[in-house]
Structure 1
Amino acid sequence: MEVFCNLHEEFLRKYFKLENGVPSHDTFQRVMRIIDPKALQQLQLEWNEYLTTNAGKGLKKILIIDGKTMRGSRT
């Protein structure tokens, strides 16, 4: 994540102040450690449910999560 942020710092600054620059690998690691896995799982379930609604189906058509569909290897 640190590498991604460094590569896209200019874009990210449109949304975040980044007063101390891009967070380090260690900072990302500390933050990820405090996220409750059960809460994250619940959010994932809610997201999946949303994608099955009418509004979600429209969104699903424009979201490419990992590129497999775009490359034709989704099956």
Structure 2
Amino acid sequence: MNTTEHRVTYASHPKNGTLVLDTATGRQGTIVAQEIHTSRWTDKVVRRVIHLRPEKGGIEWTTDPGHLEPVA
């Protein structure tokens, strides 16, 4: 993906503060933000990246929204 062809904005996520499981890593974390990648040519969203904060502290990480499952 060529990032010069995309605008990246950071925004709160509708589920900010929700504890989720990242199925790609097996880790649990709280949703804190999202990146929205928008095409400079078509103005359409081409990618979203979710920022997660570890449940018990540590370094935040990012994941694809399709890898998230709610934690009961």
TM-score by length of structure 1 reads 0.23
Higher strand share: 2
TM-score (norm 2): 0.24
- Whose helix fraction is larger, Structure 1's or Structure 2's? 1
